[in-house]
A = this chain, B = another copy of it.
Amino acid sequence: MIATETPMQRERTQTIYEKSKSGRRAAVLPAAEVPERPLEELIPAELLRAEPPCLPEVAEPEIVRHYNRLSRRNFDLDTGFYPLGSCTMKHNPRLNERVAALPGHARLHPAQDPKRAQGALELMWLLQESLGEICGLPHVSLQPSAGSHGELAGLLLTRAFHADRGEERTKVLAPDTSHGTNPASVTMAGYEAVKVATNERGGVEMDDLRAKIDEDPDQVACLMLTNPNTLGLFDENIAEIAALIHEAGGTLYYDGANLNAVMGHSRPGDMGFDIVHVNLHKSFSQPHGGGGPGAGPIAVSERIEPFLPRPQVVRRQDGNGSGPVFGLDLDRPKSIGRLRGFQGNFGVFVRSYAYILSLGADGLAEASETAVLNANYLKARLAEGRAGKRLPVAFDRHCMHEFVLSGKPMKKELGLATLDLAKRLLDYGFHPPTVYFPLLVEEALMIEPTETETKESLDAFAEAIERILAEAEQDPEVAKSAPYTTPVRRLDEVKATRRPVVRQPL
């Protein structure tokens, strides 16, 4: 039998270091043009490096080939369906890359005098205004670098807010469905994380919430909520929840990872949230880059505003009537201070602002609508046939932009874990959904199709699931040893953690 694996599937991967040969290089540098003085004249010998660090020595053609070949070992959104729940893998318009690359953006130094960076500051201000409108909150800071950074910011704001009133609170509540970053941020911000249970409708269990508050209302600093939550369900009790928290004196934090469900339809500010983070790399089409960059701007209510990080982008009416002037406001005495260097991930802002301009008020609302339609349609498709039996939806109601299935019956009846299903999906050319999250659903599969998928994609995905289940009824081993078509298969993750090899020995 002749192998039909492609040469790329077959090849043992080599690192760029393994392709290195002494003396090769891609870079030619400009001549120094200035006197070639010995380095020791410039830097004390004991502060000089004896041997340059080991970097690969490879000419340009092989660098290009190396990374091009590596790239083909990735699955990506521009190639196929990527329904990774909670991640909003929506289309990444190339227009956004084009405008981000304009030299006026890409080669603008962050310390440029604001007077000579008016375009950049205006863009940031416009983005702030837009996000504020979308979130229904009056003030925005663009500084946080991602969602988790926004969470930390929100908790530091909460601390400052309470401190300003002479309070010091210790507990932050979050539902058991919350994302891992929520409790991690809580700890990092010096609070104690308190878990709140989920009710049978998939929302916050109100009794438990009340109990957790009542334990010691004065210690409740904040409730962090994702709404729709990670089950893809809108919490029907949100108004009451907000009232309870506010009554206790806490702030209400909105984890905006799921904002894509409600843009132009419902606003966290109107729901009573004080602080919202927005993941520009989710709802606002910043490409995910294999794990970043992103940005996690926060929108806040009036009472939180004084504490926003500095600098803050502001618009001032110029004295001489020549139109507004944009500036960086550093003079914010109550500010929690900086969360990072300079002004944030500006390149991400450009992309997301281009996206907002492209879609506009109408397009954003339509995007959320279609996201919800696509999710409910795929849910309906997966309620049919084998999937309906083996992979029931965790909470059986209309979902928003995503939904969670449970692989529990599949595991019991076919011996197939959710992981096996995920791995077999790879052979069908799909990125699997998020698996084993949220934690309260056994063998969870969290599916977020996003609005940019066609009905045909959704149908094809549903059919693939159906075929995998049919296959498994015949022979569960097929999925249990999957995948078969990828360059590597079922890697030993335990080994990688027990005896970590995290760099190449050279």
Q: Chain A interface (Cβ within 8 Å of chain B)? A: 2-9, 11, 19, 21, 59-62, 64-65, 68-69, 72, 78-80, 91, 93-94, 427-429, 452-454, 456, 478, 484-486
Contact = CB atoms under 8 A, between A and B. Distances in A.
Given A4-B484, A9-B4, A485-B4, A65 B93 contact: no
A427 B4 CA distance: 8
B61 A485 contact: no
Where chain A touches its partner, the secondary structure class is loop
B6 A61 contact: no
Contact of A78 (B2, B59, B64, B93): B64
Given A6-B9, A72-B72, 4 more contacts: A5-B485, A7-B427, A21-B454, A61-B91
Contacts of A429: 6-8, 11
A79 B72 CA distance: 10
B454 A62 contact: yes
The quantity of this chain's copies bound in the complex is 2
Which of A6, A68, A427, A429 counts the most chain B CB atoms within 10 A?
Answer: A6
Contacts of A78: 64-65, 68
B79 A478 contact: no
B3 A485 contact: yes
A79 B6 CA distance: 13
A183 to B, nearest CB: 35
A95 to B, nearest CB: 9
A59 B428 contact: no
| 8 tightest A-B CB contacts, nearest first | A7-B429, A61-B91, A6-B485, A61-B452, A4-B484, A68-B78, A2-B484, A64-B78
A55 B61 CA distance: 38
A5 B3 CA distance: 9
Nearest to A451: B61
B59 A452 contact: yes
Contacts of A456: 19
Given A7-B428, A484-B2, A485-B4, A65 B94 contact: no
Contacts of A11: 429
Given A64-B94, A68-B79, A454 B4 contact: no
A270 to B, nearest CB: 29
B60 A93 contact: yes
A351 B96 CA distance: 26
A460 to B, nearest CB: 11
Given A6-B6, A485-B4, A485-B6, A79 B65 contact: yes
24 contacts: A3-B4, A4-B4, A4-B485, A6-B6, A6-B9, A6-B429, A6-B485, A6-B486, A7-B427, A7-B428, A8-B429, A11-B429, A59-B452, A59-B454, A60-B91, A60-B93, A61-B91, A61-B452, A61-B453, A65-B79, A65-B80, A69-B79, A72-B72, A72-B79
Which of A19, A78, A484, A485 counts the most chain B CB atoms within 10 A?
Answer: A485
Contacts of A59: 452, 454
A78 B68 CA distance: 7
Nearest to A91: B61
A80 B6 CA distance: 13
A188 to B, nearest CB: 36
A78 to B, nearest CB: 5
Contacts of A485: 3-7
A346 B20 CA distance: 37
A11 B8 CA distance: 18
Nearest to A481: B2
Contacts of A19: 456
Which of A4, A72, A486 counts the most chain B CB atoms within 10 A?
Answer: A4
